[in-house]
Structure 1
Amino acid sequence: MPIAVALFDLDDTLFDHHHATNVALKTVFQEYIAPSDIPFDDFASVHLELMDRLHHQHMVLGRLSLGQVREIRFEQLLAHFGLDLPHTPAQLAARQRSVFLENRRLIDGARSLLEALRAQGIQIGIVTNNMLNEQIDKLAHLQIANLIDQLITVDMVGAGKPEPDIFHYALHRHHCKPEQAVMVGDSWPNDVIGAHRAGIRPVWLNRHHQARPDATPCVEIHQLTPTDEALDAILNGPV
């Protein structure tokens, strides 16, 4: 059955979240942490672990607000390295957030790919584990909101990827069957496994050339360019 709907993850699939986060964290590190003997890579690694854990508590369990997540992340980060700074975790979090917002950008080829899909009459949806207001602002800043037919977020559904509910909700909003849709994303557990279990063909955007964690069938691409190659993989790749 021909593909009628292309579903995309947003962060690190269309939006270069890694770039914005890395620039922001390096800025905070250089301005506040660098006089110490802590290697940046160690600092960034612990930051990533905290971000993933606190994100789960906020998005999935609903225990923390985004503001609390950002502040607690730096509070625990400083505690982990035994840092006693004259600046509060809230100040560090605010600085990181400011730089993050200034450095938001699309992944190379994202806009051209979305435009090519639209030109072929394909509906485009975003399925994300982030919050509605955050992602609306992001799409507006990236200037691709006009290319998106449906934005499906974790707080709209009350469940996130890889749970089937969020995929089923996306299919319902697009009025299509699972076999008419494809899901493009960078996360193996959330996007590949989640889509596969919902009956949707997954396309794994593996920009960092990671090994496949298991034998789940999927199309694998490493970038969104050239547009014609990415388009062909998404629409015509093996089931």
Structure 2
Amino acid sequence: MNWITEKSVLIRTVEAKLLLMRTFSFTRLLALDVAISLYIWNVWAPDWNDNVDSFWKQTSHVADNLNGTINWLRDNPAGLKLNTPVNETLAWFFSYHIYLWTTFIGFLRYDVFYRYVTNSLVFGLSTFSSMIYDLSQIFFLHFNCFDAYATKLCYLCYYTLTVLWSLVRGKKHNPLRERMDTITLDTRQQFLATSLFVILLFILPTVFVYFVVFRSLRLAVSAIQTVIYFFATWPFQIFALQKYLVRKYSGKPIAEETSDSPAT
């Protein structure tokens, strides 16, 4: 429960609003926040059914585009001669993960759920954006998983290659003394180490291509979430900027700002 409280932007935003509610300057920002959200709600609410249908069409487009990306990687893009068995295995794995994600998202397809999200506009644009940000963590979960899988696999190949390269040269890392020791391998050990090194060396480009593609997708998703996070926290950022400017140019202590509060 504590983990959810720490990670949820919506909960942290509501708690911060309740904490700063007595400050008059922040109350004005909240009034502006609610005014903007009510305007958006009046524009958005009449076209509710169209907006829901458009959302699910975009969700289907995301899944189709992801499957298209996987098929593009499967066809050796840009003339790259990827390792066919590894490429097919990774493509099948990620395609199945997309299927699981679309099945999971289908459980959220309830009218009451989206009514609840839309009605959150009544409490301000920042509250609505906070809820959208938390939902985006679920909606874009597959992008994070793809990037995590590709990163772990790429790192594993790179680390194993470095170990095998040292082993082929007759070196071995000594973790106790933090140094490279010299070792002697017999013919079978040398053959096995060299074979594994060559195999991983030819597999690494395929894994690296998947890593680059999914890392790019995750960075694009992170950029979108950064924009949403800005709208979720903009009253606090403006309030902090006002405090900073007052303290820097007028020398007014921060505590004096609360003297304008109606509670005092």
TM over 0.5: no
Higher strand share: 1
Higher helix share: 2
Larger RCO of the pair (alpha carbons < 8 Å, separation 6+): 2
TM-score by length of 2: 0.21
TM-score by length of 1: 0.23
Pick the structure with greater CA Rg: 2
